[in-house]
């Protein structure tokens, strides 16, 4: 079965911290002891941007992976809401790209599988063409090589497709494009 161009909208189970606002947003005018500590995070599966409420008296650091599933949570009291890219703090925006890179590196098999299973969307457009900078020659070379044998890793892709020396970069740039521009027609890796 071909991969879907839009991920199903399911709940994230883990997220990575992009910013931690111990005393909440600066615009919150309540006394400090009445404010909630806020975590801005990105989900590790669908790259959902989230506002989380931290439990009291827990240490939170940038790039920490926090559990947000249904079971007992160590760091997070609750998931408050989804955010748009524009709602992120400057710190969270600055941390997003390195965190996306980290998620891609930790889930390499998932993204290598995308290179192995991406299909045409129409007669003139292939899913791989949606990766920023992915040209006709790279598409042709990638399709020829994966037909011989499925790719096993990013290193395998680099070795076999000479025009594709940074396959993870193409994935990262597509994810960032989808996060920054939610009006994108196709979402390969993120949830609308």
**Model confidence band, residue 32 (pLDDT cutoffs 50, 70, 90):** confident
Q: Is residue 56 part of a domain?
A: yes
pTM: 0.89
Q: Report the CATH number at residue 80.
A: 2.40.50.140
Long-range contacts, 172-177 (Cβ 8 Å, 24+): 172/97, 172/100, 172/101, 172/104, 173/131, 173/132, 173/133, 174/130, 174/131, 174/132, 175/47, 175/100, 175/104, 176/96, 176/97, 176/100, 177/132
Question: Do the beta carbons of residue 2 and residue 119 sit within 8 Å?
Answer: yes
Angle at CA 127, nearest 5°, toward 122 and 129? 100
CATH of the domain at 111: 1.10.150.280
Residue 192 maps to a domain: no
Domain final position from 33, 61, 91: 91
Query: What share of the chain in percent tops pLDDT 90?
Result: 74
118: domain range?
107-180
Structural domain includes residue 9: no
What is the model's pLDDT at position 1?
A: 36
Is 97 within the bounds of a domain? no
Are 69 and 124 in the same domain?
Answer: no
Say if CB 189 and CB 47 are below 8 A apart. Answer: yes
**Dihedral angle at the C-alpha atoms of 88, 90, 91, 94, nearest 10 degrees?**
100
* Residue 76 is assigned to a structural domain of this protein: yes
Count of domains observed in the chain = 2
Q: Say how many residues make up the chain.
A: 192
Q: Are residues 118 and 73 in the same domain?
A: no
Does one domain contain both 87 and 111?
Answer: no
pLDDT in tens, 33-64: 778 999 999 999 999 999 999 998 899 999 99
């Amino acid at each position: 079965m071909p991969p879907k161009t839009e991920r199903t909208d399911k709940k994230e189970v883990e997220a990575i911290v992009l910013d931690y606002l111990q005393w909440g947003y600066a615009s919150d005018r309540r006394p400090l002891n009445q404010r909630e500590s806020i975590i801005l995070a990105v989900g590790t599966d669908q790259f959902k941007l989230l506002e989380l409420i931290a439990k009291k008296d827990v240490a939170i650091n940038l790039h920490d992976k926090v559990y947000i599933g249904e079971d007992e949570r160590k760091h997070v009291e609750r998931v408050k809401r989804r955010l748009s890219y524009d709602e992120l703090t400057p710190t969270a925006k600055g941390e997003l790209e390195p965190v996306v890179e980290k998620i891609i590196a930790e889930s390499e098999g998932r993204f290598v599988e995308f290179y192995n299973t991406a299909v045409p969307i129409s007669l003139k457009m292939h899913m791989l063409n949606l990766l920023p900078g992915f040209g006709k020659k790279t598409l042709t070379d990638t399709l020829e090589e994966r037909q011989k044998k499925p790719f096993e890793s990013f290193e395998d892709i680099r070795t076999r497709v000479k025009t594709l020396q940074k396959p993870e970069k193409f994935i990262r740039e597509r994810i960032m494009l989808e996060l920054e521009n939610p009006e994108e027609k196709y979402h390969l890796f993120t949830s609308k």
